[in-house]
Every structure is written in C-alpha cells, then in structure tokens.
C-alpha cells in the first residue's frame, strides 16, 4: 500500500495506493464541507490537481445528503474521482462534547458510501484534560479501535490519541500499531496549532513516530497552514488536511509559508499564483465580500500546494533541513520548538541519509541540533591526520575537506594517499584503511582524484557531488575481503539471488538480514546467506525500514557478479 521513493530526515516522498488509485506523499487534502464547498471538488481535481480530499461522514450521515450518498456513493455525491478520506465525527465530538451516532454506525455508513479511507469514532482529548481523563478516553479509543477491526472493509485510519501526555501517546501508538490499520492520524492537535504551541506538538509527533510502524503513513490531523508543513514533514508526517484555506479566507487572512498576513495590511501580493498575479491588494480589498473570500480561498489553497511541492523538491535534493531552518525563523514559538529535535536525535539519526545531492549548509547554531552531528562524532575519531575547524562538526580531518557533509572552501596541503585513506575509513570503517593501497589514480578535468585502478581494473570512482567512493564489483570484492561479516552487508533471500547476480535491484521483502549500522544511501555489499558476494549497490532505506516494508526497492544494485564490466 505504501512505499518510499526518497528520504531526508524523517521526511519521505512516498507512493500511497488505495483502491487502485495512487497518490504521492507528502500530500495535503482540502477539507470539503459536503453540504457547501467554496471550491467545488471537481474544480479541486481539474484545476488545482488535488489527488485527494477529506470530508466528514458524520455531516453526511446527519444531513439530507445521506440517502443520496447511500444510493450514489460519496464519489458521485462530491463529483470527485480521486481518493476520498472520510472523518467519523471526532472533531464534532471534541467541539460539542457529544454526537448522535455510534462507532459501529459511522464505520458501517462509511463502508456503504464507498469511502476510500474510513475512520473509526475515536475520543479526542483536549490539552487541558487531566491524565486520568485522558487515560479513560484512550481506553475507550482503543476499545473502539478493536471493534473497528471487525467492521473494516477497506483502508482505515487508526487515530492516535492521548492528549498532551507522552506516555499515553506512546501506549496508543504501540496498541494501535499492532492492529490492522493502514494510516495513523495523530489526533487532537488542532488546539496546539491554534495557540501556536509548537513545542508540545513536536514532542507528540516524535513520540508517535518512534513507536508507530515505520511502514505506515502518518496523517497530522488538522494541520494545513503552510508555515508548519515543512517542519511536520521533516518530523515524519506524510498526510495533512486543510480547512485553513477557507477558514482564514473568511477572516480576510492571506496564507504564506512565512506566516499569515491580513489582506488590509498588504500593499503588494508576495505570490505569483494564478489569482495573485492578475490583481493587487487594493482591488481585492474594495471588492464585494463574497469575491474577497473567493479570491483568498483560492490563493490560500495555491500557496499550500506550492509549499508541498517545495518540500518534495527539498526531500529529493536533500535540503529539507535547510528549508525547515529557514521556515522556523518566521515564528518565535516555531524556532523554540526546533530544540526538541535534540531529545530525539538518536532515533532520527537512524533514518537520516548518509549522503545527499546538495551540500551541507550551516544556517546558525540550531544546525548543530541535526542528528548528523551525532553521527559524525562517532566516525571521525578513528581518522588520523591534520584537522580544520568546522562550524557544526568541530575538528574535522583535512582528508575529508571535500567530502559530504564537511565541504569547505579552504585549501590544504595534503597527499592524495591521505585523502583516499581518510575517505575510505569514514565511508567504510577502520578495517577499510588499506582498501585502495597501491592504486593508480586518474584525474578529472578539474585535476582532482576521479578514478582508482589496480592492474588496469577500475575499483572505484570518487563522486564529485559528495566526495565519496562509488565501487565497482571488483572494488566491492576487495572491501568484502577486508570486512568481517556482517559489516556493510545486505543479505538476500535465496529466491532473489539469481536476479541480484544479474544486476537487478533487491526488493525489501527479499532481504533476510543486514548490518544494523548501515544508513540509507550508503554503498553496500549484497551477499547470500553464506556470505558469497552477489553484487554492490546503494541502500535506499534505513535498516528498520528494510525489515518492515514488503514493497519497494531496498538496494539499488549497480553491479552484479554476472554483469561485471568496466565503464
């Protein structure tokens, strides 16, 4: 149902498949009032290219639309052929304290109207509730979740509750994570968002992420403001829903990734979306009220979708941390909440890629909170030689001055042998110190080290993008002979062995074991269960993800033993 295509931090570009329909995550679902929508769902699909929306099954159930929904289905009712997720009425329960439908009734109703993703009737706990109340309400939520399993007919949300109490969020994540849910929303966080209480929100998200199954997408219920999206994605949230685009429009508020602006205070529109590029604030402000709301509703939605695309691009190129560090400066509470990352750095580090398409940029003292700082402190002490001062990492060997994430403009007097040895140890460990001894070096157009040969056989290429080695199969054979089992190894199931030998990718479901110290995007040795080298490639997932996922590629195989050739 869900597979990962790219990663940065805990953020990921994913492929979510529901009822034969596919959506790329992260994704924001516009919230649609089934009785009256400012932007018709058909327009959302055709003009805004929204692949997915969320509507409220409880409102449909209680309104005159009920019979039509039962006869035609929710897709025909809303004139929307994408993925439709339905909420159960939990928001109304949180707002009004009581609703006139049971858990069983609303689940059955969602089944009958053809919801792509349904939601059971969980009990949302407000932040000011006592621990005892939150615990009682969580017990009821878990009880209802178990009942929902009996009624489940398609994809279903398993909402994580527990109020502000992290032990209860942990318990909910563990309990519901053992059940057969497809997506896990984190519920009852809107009160935190409305009061800009980002620190407890970050604590809640990271607690849930730590104990939820990594193979399931996470939906941050009620989070749709562009200001928070990048940070929430970095923390591991995959799906969002936005009613902010219409609610803020009704208050004449203009959404941006840098915060909210009042229409009356704008002299220029800081946006090039289709609606903003054809007018100016003075014209809009003097329009009739319905026209103002229509304008702001469309701008707010465009601004939200543009931010999602920027986030995806940042994940793809490996600059999500930099994007988040630029966004968090737009609100003091958001900046303050960033410090919570230190508390969870050991967990995040397990999922943080080893290398990226772009360089590491130091944006300020908060950059030192990134988990990669913890990682490099473990790897650097074993490398000998002269050092230089890096603003984030402290003392760094000069042999790594052109290697990710240590790039510097400084030039050092250092031998090529030291450079090669330093990179080998950092990338493959201390046992790889002699990996390229007595190699012949060829150079690129810039005069820097490019290829390493031995007896006219290519062993590795030093990639200019990140200053790390890309191994040929012959280079992998040398590394395999130096490292003790299971260092740097991914072990393929017997069924996959013939395919890997031919250079085919290794899928996650065919991995029977791997070195737990590996990180995604590292060079790895693919072996069989007898430690026979089959191929060499790039690990695309973290070890925890490899073990959990049944879909997607785990190792992108570059060379198989039967497909060896030198470029």
Structure tokens at 1: 């149902």
Task: Show the DSSP H helices in 90-237 as ranges.
Answer: 90-96, 103-112, 131-151, 166-177, 190-194, 198-211, 226-234
CA distances to 231, 264, 323 from 350, rounded to whole Å, are: 18, 47, 21
Q: How far apart are CA 442 and CA 461, in angstroms?
A: 10
Q: How far apart are CA 468 and CA 520, in angstroms?
A: 14
Per the annotation, the verdict on 409 as an active-site residue is no
Q: Please list, residue by residue across 479-506, b when 16 or more beta carbons sit within 10 angstroms of its beta carbon and e when fewer do.
A: bbebbeebbbbbbbbeebbebbbebebb
Q: Which member of 8, 81, 87, 180 is catalytic?
A: 87
Q: How far apart are CA 458 and CA 478, in angstroms?
A: 12
Instruction: Using DSSP, state whether 118 is helix, strand or coil.
Output: strand
Beta bridge partners of residue 12, listed in sequence order = 7
In the chain, the largest separation of any two C-alpha atoms, in whole Å, equals: 81
Q: How far apart are CA 192 and CA 30, in angstroms?
A: 20
DSSP element (H, E) containing 523: strand 523-527
Q: Which residues belong to the active site?
A: 87
């Amino acid at each position: 149902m869900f597979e990962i295509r790219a990663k940065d931090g805990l953020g990921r570009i994913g492929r979510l498949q529901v009822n034969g329909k596919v959506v790329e995550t992260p994704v924001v679902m516009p919230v649609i009032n089934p009785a009256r929508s400012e932007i018709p769902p058909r327009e959302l699909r055709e003009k805004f290219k929204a692949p997915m929306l969320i509507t409220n099954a409880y409102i449909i159930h209680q309104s005159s639309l009920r019979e039509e929904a039962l006869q035609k289905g929710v897709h025909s009712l809303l004139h929307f052929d994408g993925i439709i997720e339905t909420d159960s009425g939990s928001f109304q329960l949180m707002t009004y304290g009581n609703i006139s439908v049971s858990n069983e009734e609303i689940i059955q109703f969602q089944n009958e109207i053809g919801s792509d993703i349904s939601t059971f009737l969980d009990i949302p706990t407000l932040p000011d509730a006592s621990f005892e109340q939150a615990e009682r309400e969580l017990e009821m939520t878990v009880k209802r979740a178990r009942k929902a399993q009996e009624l489940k007919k398609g994809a279903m949300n398993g909402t994580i509750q527990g109020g502000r109490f992290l032990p209860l969020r942990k318990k909910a994540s563990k309990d519901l994570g053992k059940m057969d849910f497809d997506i896990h929303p984190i519920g009852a966080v809107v009160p935190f968002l409305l009061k800009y209480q980002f620190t407890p929100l970050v604590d809640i998200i990271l607690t849930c992420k730590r104990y939820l199954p990594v193979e399931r997408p996470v939906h941050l219920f009620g989070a749709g403001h562009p200001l928070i999206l990048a940070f929430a994605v970095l923390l591991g949230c995959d799906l969002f829903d936005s009613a902010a685009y219409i609610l803020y429009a009704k208050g004449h508020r203009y959404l941006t990734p840098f915060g909210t602006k009042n229409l009356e205070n704008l002299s220029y529109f800081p946006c090039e979306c289709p609606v903003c590029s054809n007018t100016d604030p003075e014209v809009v402000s003097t329009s009739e009220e319905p026209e103002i709301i229509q304008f702001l509703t469309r701008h707010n939605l465009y601004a939200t979708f543009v931010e999602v695309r920027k986030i995806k691009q940042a994940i793809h190129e490996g600059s999500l941390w930099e994007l988040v560090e630029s966004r968090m400066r737009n609100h003091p509470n958001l900046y303050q909440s960033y410090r919570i990352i230190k508390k969870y750095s050991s967990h995040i580090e397990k999922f943080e890629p080893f290398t990226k398409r772009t360089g590491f940029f130091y944006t300020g003292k908060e950059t030192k909170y990134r988990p990669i700082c913890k990682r490099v402190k473990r790897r650097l002490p074993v490398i000998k030689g002269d050092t230089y001062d890096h603003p984030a990492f402290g003392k760094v060997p000069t042999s790594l001055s052109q290697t990710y994430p240590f790039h510097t403009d400084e030039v050092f007097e250092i031998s090529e042998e030291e450079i090669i040895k330093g990179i080998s140890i950092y990338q493959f460990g201390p046992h790889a110190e002699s990996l390229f001894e007595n190699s012949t070096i060829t150079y690129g157009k810039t005069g820097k080290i490019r290829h390493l040969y031995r007896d006219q056989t290519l062993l590795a290429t030093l990639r200019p993008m990140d200053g790390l080695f890309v191994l040929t199969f012959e280079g992998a054979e040398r590394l395999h002979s130096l490292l003790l089992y299971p260092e740097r190894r991914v072990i393929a199931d017997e069924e996959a062995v013939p395919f890997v030998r031919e250079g085919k990718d290794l899928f996650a479901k065919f991995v029977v074991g791997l070195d737990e110290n590996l990180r995604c995007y590292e060079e790895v040795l693919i072996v069989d269960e007898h430690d026979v080298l089959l191929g060499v490639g790039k690990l695309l997932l973290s070890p925890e993800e490899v073990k959990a996922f049944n879909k997607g590629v785990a190792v992108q195989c570059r060379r198989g033993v039967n497909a060896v050739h030198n470029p």
